[in-house]
Amino acid sequence: MSTFIRTLIEQEVLHRRRFLLAGAAGLGAMTVPGVFGKGRAMAATNDPALAWSYRDRATAYWNSVVSGGEAFAESLGKPKSALVNLINEGSSEKSLSDLKSFLAKTGGNCAIACDANDSPNARPVVEAVKAANAYVSTMWNKTDDLHPWDFGDNYVCHMTWSDVKPAEDTARILFEAMGGKGGVVHLGGIAANNPAIERLQGLKNALADFPDIELLDAQPADWDTTKAAALMSSYLTRYGDRITGVHCASDQMAYGVIEALLAEGIDDMPIVSYDGNPEAVKLVQDGKLLATVYTNPYWGGGILTSLAYHAAIGTFKPSEEPNEHREFYGPTVLITQEDAAEFSAKYIDAVPDYDWNDFWGPTNGQIQYN
């Protein structure tokens, strides 16, 4: 625990120091890339500085993403601290201003991985990077009309995840366990969230192939354990024994469902969830969950840093890559009772040794827009 606190403090100190330096460098530095930018060869001779711009390290998810980025930095023989943390604390303005300070400080000789906090913010971020002739790869947030190939080499790539197919896969596992008949209830995330919509859609897609299974109800429990427990209890009153399976849009809600059922003395209900949190993987191993889905944020964080870095040093030229190498879906790993132990040993108990030069191997195809 103390290591966590120490890292947090170190990281905050760095954060502050960098800010002061950036301030000292001043706006003047912003013009430097303008002067040298055009003339500079594609393959920068300098070692580009690395940064990850994201929300907040306190959540397990982002901690994993940035740990991946640090692992990449270490693979270059650098210390973890070589990866600068640009923490936006959920503010798009801070995200953009920190990023501009970083660009100014490094004179554009940098490789950045970034979640722009919200979709509209991705454009100014990418434009600032382009103006400084630096390199950026993005994750999760960007508008549908913003594409890496419109920015030459500077906007290296974008990675996101589609949850429809994995949610459909878990639904199929659930339906098989239910013997292909009965009633299922769904507990969803915050109704307007994209992952919540996609995960429910996945369930509906699977339902089409199982005519004897009825979707009794699908309501949001806002990704919240307590709300999920209360919603599950209410479902039990309304549908009682007609419920023979539960489809949860996240592990966090599945914990609440399991406890609500435990309170009723029900411990054999087939349940599937999503996210692949360590606790959920343990529950899969213990037979309390049928399946969950892991999106490997660690690899995502590392590979986006690697892609931006290698574009910056000229290992490959992004503009010569096909579109599926510029916009792609991240990997998803389905965890079932058969492979949970193996998964746990591979991803949780130990950190796999990733090949950070295998840029696109584990990805899941080009992003499709509706």
Partner 1 sequence: MGGILSRENIIRWAALLVLLALIALFTALNPAFLSQRNLARIAIAAAPAMMVALGVTFVIVMGSIDLSMEGAVSLAAVLFCLLFVKLGGALLPWGWLAVPVIVLFGAFYGMLTGLVHVRLKIPSFMASLAMGFVGTGAAVMITGGEIVRIGDSTFRMLLTWRILGYPLMVYVAIACIFVALFIQKHTVLGRNFYAIGGGEELAHASGVNVRAVRIAGFALAGAFYAIGAIFQVAKLGQAEAATGANFMFVSITSVVVGGVALWGGVGGVWNAVVGVLIVNVIANGMVVIGLPNFLQDGVLGVLVILAVVLATDRRAVAFVK
The two tokens of residue 362 are: 């584990």
Count residues near partner 1 (CB under 8 A).
37
Is 121 or 244 the residue whose CB approaches partner 1 more closely?
Answer: 244
Query: Cα(65)–Cα(53) distance, rounded to whole angstroms?
Result: 11
Beta sheet of 110-114, edge-to-edge order: 83-87, 49-54, 110-114, 135-139, 155-160, 327-329
99-107, 129-137, 257-265, 301-309 -> range binding partner 1 (CB under 8 A):
257-265
Single out the residue of 15, 165, 227, 242 in contact with partner 1 (rule: CB under 8 A): 227
Q: Does residue 219 bind partner 1 (CB under 8 A)?
A: yes
Angle CA(38)–CA(43)–CA(49) in degrees, nearest 5? 95
x-marked contacts with partner 1 along 188-217 as a string, rule CB under 8 A: ---x-------------------------x
Query: Cα(18)–Cα(106) distance, rounded to whole angstroms?
Result: 11
Single out the residue of 118, 127, 259, 324 in contact with partner 1 (rule: CB under 8 A): 259
Q: Does residue 225 bind partner 1 (CB under 8 A)?
A: yes
Query: Cα(69)–Cα(73) distance, rounded to whole angstroms?
Result: 6
x-marked contacts with partner 1 along 266-285 as a string, rule CB under 8 A: -----------xxx------
Query: Cα(228)–Cα(225) distance, rounded to whole angstroms?
Result: 5
Is 127 or 259 the residue whose CB approaches partner 1 more closely?
Answer: 259
State the distance between the two ends of the chain, measured CA to CA, in whole angstroms. 44
Query: Cα(335)–Cα(343) distance, rounded to whole angstroms?
Result: 7
In the complex, least distance from residue 113 CB atom to partner 1, rounded to whole angstroms = 20
x-marked contacts with partner 1 along 1-40 as a string, rule CB under 8 A: x--xx--x--------------------------------
Three-class secondary structure of residue 293 per DSSP:
strand
In angstroms, what is the C-alpha Rg of the chain?
22
Residues 45-104 that bind partner 1 (CB under 8 A): 58-60, 63
Residues lying near partner 1 in the complex (CB under 8 A) are found at 1, 4-5, 8, 58-60, 63, 191, 217, 219-220, 224-227, 229-231, 233-238, 240, 255-256, 259-260, 262-265, 277-279
